[in-house]
Amino acid sequence: MSNKSIVALGLPASGKTTFLAALWHLLTNEKVNGHLSLAKLEAGEAAHLRSIASRWLQAKNQDRTFHSGNKTVKLSLKPASGEIFELTFPDIAGEAFAQMWEMRECPSDVAEALQTNGVLLFIHADKIRVPGWIADDLAQSQDLGVVIGGDPTPWKPQSSPTQVQLVDILQCLQLPPLYVGPRRLAVILSAWDKVENDGVSPERFLKLNLPLLYQYLEGGLGEGWKMRVFGVSAQGADYDREGGEPNADAERMREIEVPSHRIRVVAKDAESHDLTEPVYWLLG
């Protein structure tokens, strides 16, 4: 049995844990034919996966990975044609990647996890921090009758646009000690259901809303890198929040007869419920 690994990379609340929860449900529920199927699970791995999959099935928001610690999951998977292999999938807190940008630090366990040739880059399509333009802010304040004045607000790294932070993190992957040569990069635009009414493909959405990142992916990754963009709705709708009133969209999700059908994966001109598709593509 061969060993393969991928890493899920993304800023806080970008959809990594929800993706893993939905992936585990799909693999164990076996209601959707996919590129990959579950062969076996290493002893001791099931508790974390069952926990997050249970919350997903109940249409409840995931607990933040940052508070429960990073998890590394090992799955034995089998492609439709081929031999069984062991896949290592670290579920790393988005705060760890934000720290790479804000503090210029990378914990040793995260650095080790990043020594892989397959990268899932998660971007929450509905929570993109866009650049602010002085002229636009001034015009808006004038329209609202608000007077801008006082002391300037100090710049903070965490206030930087999403695409600036992600480009910097990707650059880190091309420099020692994180450099391992050319990689495969699957860009996951999570919460795709929130933005699909824009009527554009995932690639076009990336180009329009994250132009700096798009240009870097097109021309700055270096020779040998391969990249593909996926629009992914692993959650399907807004879920119940802890202590809040039941959410109508969450109720609708719970009523779906085959929960795996909540999942939608859009790539180029094709759409499916197969959440293993980005993982399968990464494995080449």
Residue 249 DSSP label: H
Residues 6+ apart with CB under 8 A from 249: 236, 237, 238, 239
Residue of higher predicted confidence among 74 and 185: 185
pLDDT digit string, tens, across residues 174-199: 999 999 999 999 999 999 999 998 88
State the pLDDT at residue 217: 97
pLDDT digit string, tens, across residues 106-126: 989 899 999 999 999 999 999
- Rounded Cα distance, 61 and 245, in Å: 13
- Rounded Cα distance, 98 and 106, in Å: 10
Structure tokens that stand for 214 in this block: 């798009």
State the pLDDT at residue 30: 87
State CA 159 to chain mean position distance.
20
Is residue 66 over pLDDT 50? no
pLDDT digit string, tens, across residues 127-150: 999 887 766 666 766 666 666 666
Q: Mean pLDDT for the chain?
A: 87
Q: Which domains does the chain have, with CATH numbers?
A: 2-282 (3.40.50.300)
Question: Which candidate, 60, 192, 66, places its Cα nearest to that of 128?
Answer: 192
State CA 12 to chain mean position distance.
10
Query: Which SS3 state, helix, strand or coil, does residue 6 take?
Result: strand
Residue of higher predicted confidence among 73 and 70: 73
- Rounded Cα distance, 74 and 40, in Å: 10
> Mean per-residue pLDDT for 196-213?
94
- Rounded Cα distance, 55 and 75, in Å: 20
Q: Are 246 and 237 in contact (CB under 8 A)?
A: no
CB atoms within 10 A of CB 213: 24
Tell me what percent of the residues of the chain surpass a pLDDT of 70.
87
CA dihedral over 162, 163, 167, 168, signed as positive or negative? negative
Q: Are 186 and 284 in contact (CB under 8 A)?
A: no
Q: How far apart are the first and last CA of the chain?
A: 17
Q: Are 278 and 270 in contact (CB under 8 A)?
A: no
- Rounded Cα distance, 77 and 132, in Å: 45
- Rounded Cα distance, 246 and 266, in Å: 29
Is residue 37 over pLDDT 90? yes
State the pLDDT at residue 141: 66
> Mean per-residue pLDDT for 44-65?
81
> Mean per-residue pLDDT for 244-259?
84
Secondary element (H or E) of residue 36: strand 36-41
- Rounded Cα distance, 177 and 31, in Å: 42
- Cα distances from 233 to residues 63, 126, 205, 264, in angstroms, run 18, 12, 15, 5
